[in-house]
Structures are given as C-alpha cells and as structure tokens.
Amino acid sequence: MNLESLNLSFTVITDGGLKYLCGLSTVKLLNLDVFHITDTGLEALTSKRKGNVTSSEITQQEFTEMAWKAIVSSPKVARENEHQIVETKHLMKALHEPKKQVISESAGSMLGRDLESLMQRARGYKKEYGDSFVSVEHLVLGFVQDNRFGKPLFKEFQISLKTLKSAIESIRGRQTVIDQGIYSLFMLRDHVKRKR
C-alpha cells in the first residue's frame, strides 16, 4: 500500500488498529475522526505520527441527569426495535417516553453518525447558552438540524430552529444550566401548564 494521506472516521478504533495505522510508513498525513479512543491508542498515535484526532466520547459528567437518562435509554430503545445502531430517532423516543427506573449504561452499543453529530450540535448549544452541562433543550435543538429524523419531523410540525429557540428562551429566560440535577425543559413546561 502506497498512500500519502489517509482520512478516516470511526466510532471506535482498537489500540491494535491504531498502531497498525501509525505503522504505515508511506502515510505522511493521518486525519482521524474518532468517537472513542483509549489513552493507549492516543499515546501510540501522538508518539509516532503527526495527525489530527477529534474525540467526542460521551460521558455522564457533561450532561444533566435528565439528558443523561435519555442518552443511556437510547440503546434499549434501539434493541426493542431490533436495531443494531443507536440513532437520533432512538434518542427522541427516549426523551419523549422517559422511564421511571434507573437505567444502566449499555456497553458495546454502536452510535450512528447522525447521533454523534447531534451530540456535537448539543454541545455547541450548551456553549451558545453559556451552560455548564448539556441539557434536554440542547438535545432538542440539535434535532432541528438532524437530516435523518429531526429535520423532517420538525418540518412536519412547522417548527423552525428560530421558533424553537424563542420558545426555549421564553421558558428559561436568562437562567443557565449550572447543575446536573436541574429540572428539564419538559418538566418546566408541565409546571407552567399546571399554573395556568
């Protein structure tokens, strides 16, 4: 194999696979978009080759409790529908039908590209709103630009990104999410309905 440049995207890459890629002597530039990479794999990459690595591992520490509960429920929703890859529609269903019981994280579930992209958009909205944690409303905002599922759904209900942002801002005002246990937007919506 005589490649000079290699651009790859993985959900997970093993240490052995990464060491193999680093050992390709003809590759001068290696660009990886990796969803999960171990410290050992990253060390192998940085010690042997100059390249660009983007890691977007999803960890509980960056999400509110309600958002995290939906995220870890998504693989179960996928399995219930006999799907191998967890995608945005599974997250939407988990958000829409929250479970009462505590749900454990599903190791080994493969996240689809669209769900990975949604997570990146949600992180962007977290920054835009000046929040400390990704919350349910950030995830919902991320759905508006989801080509696979969200965009057609919001279009069907005639909800634009601008309309959704306006609704969120009218509910939360100038509050920021500074606590993982902060109530979700949907709980707040239900609270507003009860007060009417």
Same-domain check for residues 33 and 89: no
The amino acid at residue 77 is: V
Same-domain check for residues 147 and 98: yes
Q: Which of 55, 73, 89 is the last residue of a domain?
A: 55
Give the model's confidence band at 64: pLDDT under 50 very low, under 70 low, under 90 confident, else very high.
very high
Same-domain check for residues 34 and 114: no
Domain that holds residue 162: 60-195
Question: How does DSSP assign 105-144, residue by residue?
Answer: --TTPEEPHHHHHHHHHHHHHHHHTT-SSB-HHHHHHHHT
Same-domain check for residues 156 and 68: yes
Same-domain check for residues 178 and 98: yes
Same-domain check for residues 124 and 168: yes
pLDDT in tens, 65-94: 999 999 988 988 988 988 888 899 999 999
Task: Give the number of C-alpha atoms closer than 13 A to the C-alpha of residue 60, restricted to the C-beta side.
Answer: 10
pLDDT at 178: 84
Mean pLDDT across 138-146 = 95
CA distance 14 to 92: 30
CB of 184 closer than 8 Å to CB of 66: yes
Same-domain check for residues 28 and 103: no
Same-domain check for residues 118 and 91: yes
Same-domain check for residues 26 and 98: no
Same-domain check for residues 30 and 66: no
CATH number of the structural domain spanning residue 101:
1.10.1780.10
Same-domain check for residues 26 and 72: no
Comparing CA positions, the residue from 78, 38, 32 lying closest to residue 57 is 38
Mean pLDDT across 132-153 = 93
CA distance 73 to 175: 27
The answer to whether residue 118 scores a pLDDT higher than 80 is yes
Give the model's confidence band at 162: pLDDT under 50 very low, under 70 low, under 90 confident, else very high.
very high
Give the model's confidence band at 167: pLDDT under 50 very low, under 70 low, under 90 confident, else very high.
very high
Please state whether the predicted TM-score (pTM) of the whole model is above 0.85: no
CB of 168 closer than 8 Å to CB of 185: yes
- Phi/psi of residue 125, each to 5°? -65, -35
The total of structural domains in the chain comes to 2
Comparing CA positions, the residue from 163, 166, 144 lying closest to residue 155 is 144
Same-domain check for residues 177 and 97: yes
Fill in the DSSP letter of residue 54: E
pLDDT at 131: 93
pLDDT in tens, 91-116: 999 998 876 544 444 445 677 889 98
Mean pLDDT of the chain: 75
CB of 26 closer than 8 Å to CB of 1: yes
